[in-house]
Amino acid sequence: MSSSAGQVIKCKAAVAWEAGKPLVIEEVEVAPPQAMEVRLKILYTSLCHTDVYFWEAKGQTPVFPRIFGHEAGGIVESVGEGVTDLAPGDHVLPVFTGECKDCAHCKSEESNMCSLLRINTDRGVMINDGKSRFSINGKPIFHFVGTSTFSEYTVVHVGCVAKINPEAPLDKVCVLSCGISTGLGATLNVAKPPKGSTVAVFGLGAVGLAAAEGARIAGASRIIGIDVNPKRFNEAKKFGVTEFVNPKDYDKPVQEVLSEITDGGVDRSIECTGNVDAMISAFECVHDGWGVAVLVGVPHKDAAFKTHPMNFLSERTLKGTFFGNYKPRSDLPSVVEKYMNKELELEKFITHEVPFTEINKAFDYMLQGDGLRCIIRMDA
């Protein structure tokens, strides 16, 4: 165990004191891990749209003051009681959803939606005792999705930590702990496009481009990118996208356009926008008889999906996915190995890098729609 094990650690964290206001670098106290928890030293973190969405707090219960961040790579500093499969010094990715390995979901080969540790955006405390491990002058600072990686040290439930190859560069593989794995797994684990097939990807942000990367790895012959922002088209070529459709360029539904240019519809489609109209288009554009559409984007809470039942009866399949159907502890290490053996390229997702003191710049880049992933270096 490290010399700091069992002690409160004082470190720097970027605290969101209120919705939509710039984060403030503060000195926080991080309590030692309790039973089934680990304390991590975060080395690199990146900003995901989910952080921004809950920081803006427009559509959900605001929980402040809070430490955001959930895409990261780090090293185990110390472990709490009962933790046997992690030790200080292990290289890890903390994940916003977990794998307890005991519930019906974890025991199922089909599900990754752990009953105990699945994502909970409203909870700002640890499940062990209902308390936060962060404080400033004795006042609690709330957690975010069980990870809170915008801090030099954080405490996470052991079930939300994936132990990975220590040779893997954490400044690259940290992006696998959320968005990239979500898109990649939606294609490889759920859509499963056959070699030579035609795949449509709706939304060419980081998750959509990861879905396209999955189609490239799977050997799809045509990867059609659909987006209303033509600026994204050039970048998408790096991820295997072979052609582009901007729905704004047509006076008919985009599913009709896709059906025409693919002789009856695409073999697989992956929807990564969360826009319910795009979801309907993604389903209706797949070929009858064998087409599969996969929904990844999170819709508005009042959204309703409407399509004619004949679209199902003509043997089209509609699926949804959460975190690309990856079980965090069991499956993420093998995704890291895909990067290590050069099957998966991660560098092209990383468009910016900032020191921790300039974390608000990462928010600016994302709010301006500039780039894909911004790596935040904790030691800089």
Q: Which one of the listed residues 174, 178, 272, 285 is annotated catalytic?
A: 178
11 part of the active site: no
45, 106, 157, 268: the active-site residue = 106
71 flagged as catalytic: yes
Active site residue 100: yes
272 is a catalytic site residue: no
Which one, of 172, 134, 179, lies nearest residue 29 by Cα? 134
Of the residues 71, 77, 152, 213, only one is catalytic, namely: 71
Residue 233: name the closest of 246, 221, 222, 248 by CA.
246
User: Is residue 106 among the annotated active site residues?
Assistant: yes
Catalytic residue (choose from 37, 39, 45, 50): 50
- Choosing from 39, 66, 70, 329, the catalytic residue is 70
Give catalytic status of residue 50 as yes or no. Answer: yes
Q: Which listed residue (49, 235, 242, 351) is catalytic? A: 49
The answer to whether 97 is a known catalytic residue is no
Q: Is 118 a catalytic residue?
A: yes
- Residue indicated by tokens 């070699």: 195
DSSP string, 58-115: SSS----SB----EEEEEEEEE-TT--S--TT-EEEE-SS---SSSHHHHSSS----T
**Burial (Cβ within 10 Å: 0-12, 13-18, ≥19) of residue 52:** middle
Catalytic residue among 133, 182, 373, 374: 373
Sheet holding 9-15, edge to edge: 9-15, 24-30, 134-136, 139-141
For residue 65, say if its preceding peptide bond is cis, omega within 30 degrees of 0. yes
Out of 100, 160, 272, 374, the active site residue is: 100
Has 123 been annotated as catalytic? no
Indicate which residue of 114, 272, 285, 374 is catalytic: 114
Q: Which residues are registered as beta bridge partners of 200?
A: 224, 269
**Catalytic site residue from 39, 66, 118, 287:** 118
To the query of whether residue 373 is one of the catalytic residues in this protein, the response is yes
**Cα 198 to Cα 215: distance, rounded to the nearest angstrom:** 9
Distance from C-alpha of 154 to C-alpha of 133, rounded to nearest angstrom: 8
Active site residue ranges: 48-50, 70-71, 100, 103, 106, 114, 118, 178, 373
